[in-house]
Structure 1
Amino acid sequence: MTRKKNKISKILKDKSGAATYLEMVVTILIVAIVVVFIVKVVPVLVLKNQLNTFATSVSRIISVEGRYDNTVREAIEELRQKSEVGNVTITLDGSDFISGGEKIQLNDIIQVNVTTQYDLGFFTFGSFPITLKNTAQSRSEVYWK
């Protein structure tokens, strides 16, 4: 066993050719793994940015309309299709609706939570679904009598 260890350490210490070749193979392997990791992670960052923009736009639509009804939902759906964020879940947590309806009174807080799933799989090594969530907040700009 120690004989093999000595042989491997000699190869690694030797700068003639075999060790340089081995170092080069290991370096290329590490660079390839880093490139694959970057290629898989950058789309997540792009999607997170798109989700941020989408949540802000949804918050703005609801604040200008002062309500969250079918008309607003249709406008949000059109925006979702244009922004290419995929399937998202939109919730209005922390928003105070008038008498349990769909209207939000002037200057009341509108908090929009947008959530989506992204599959961060590394080829055949498995699937790693991650949840991306973003929150946007605004205030209603409509006075309801």
Structure 2
Amino acid sequence: MLKIIKNERGEGYIDVAVLVLCAMLVIALAVSVLPVFITKNKLDTYVVELCREAEIAGCVGSTLRAQVLSEKTGLNPDISWSKTGKIQLNEEFTVTATMQTNLGLFGRFGSFPITLKAQVSGKSEVYWK
């Protein structure tokens, strides 16, 4: 009986099964975490677009462009501006967008909310008389 237990035939099958199980767990973790990085990238692009629009228009706090971007990207972040109204040439302002998203590890199990934040600074390109 002891000789049968010490026999190492078939050990490779167990090693392969464990390796495949570990590989599937890593792939499942990547599939659940990568959407958060994609959302962060979209949020960064969202804020850069808002900042560029404010630089060209010379006024901040406009929600029209934010509505268009929300429709295109599917994001609905909380937007805050460092200033409001018209801004003079070379006057600096900051746009900050925050949103909460779930980092869902393996469905509802292990899921918890995280806050994503994107912040961009810009300068007005408009001279107001």
Q: Normalising by structure 1, report the TM-score.
A: 0.76
**Deviation digits for residues 67-99 of structure 1 (CA, Å, limit 9, x no counterpart):** 135xx2122211221122x22011113x4x5xx
Question: Which runs of no fewer than 5 residues in structure 2 stay unpaired?
Answer: none
1:120 maps to 2:110: no
1:82 maps to 2:66: no
Match of 2:81 in 1: 92
Amino acid across the alignment from 1:24: V
CA contact (8 A) 1:63 1:110 kept: no
CA contact (8 A) 2:33 2:104 kept: no
Whose radius of gyration is greater, 1 or 2? 1
SS in 1 for 2:60: coil
Of Structure 1 and Structure 2, the greater helix share is in 1
Q: How many residues align?
A: 124
Q: Normalising by structure 2, report the TM-score.
A: 0.84
Give percent identity, aligned residues only. Answer: 36
Quick one: distance in 2 between partners of 1:91 and 1:124?
31
Q: Which one of 105, 108, 120 corresponds to residue 136 of structure 1?
A: 120
Of Structure 1 and Structure 2, the greater strand share is in 2
Q: Which one of 98, 105, 123 corresponds to residue 88 of structure 2?
A: 105
Quick one: distance in 2 between partners of 1:64 and 1:110?
13
Amino acid across the alignment from 1:90: I
SS in 1 for 2:59: coil
1:66 maps to 2:50: no
Higher RCO, 1 vs 2 (CA within 8 Å, ≥6 residues apart)? 2
Quick one: distance in 1 between partners of 2:18 and 2:112?
27
Deviation of residue 65 (structure 1)? 1.5
1:39 maps to 2:23: no
Quick one: distance in 1 between partners of 2:24 and 2:40?
25
Quick one: distance in 2 between partners of 1:140 and 1:74?
18
Deviation of residue 144 (structure 1)? 2.5
| Aligned-CA RMSD value | 1.8
Question: Which runs of no fewer than 5 residues in structure 1 stay unpaired?
Answer: 1-6
SS in 2 for 1:136: strand
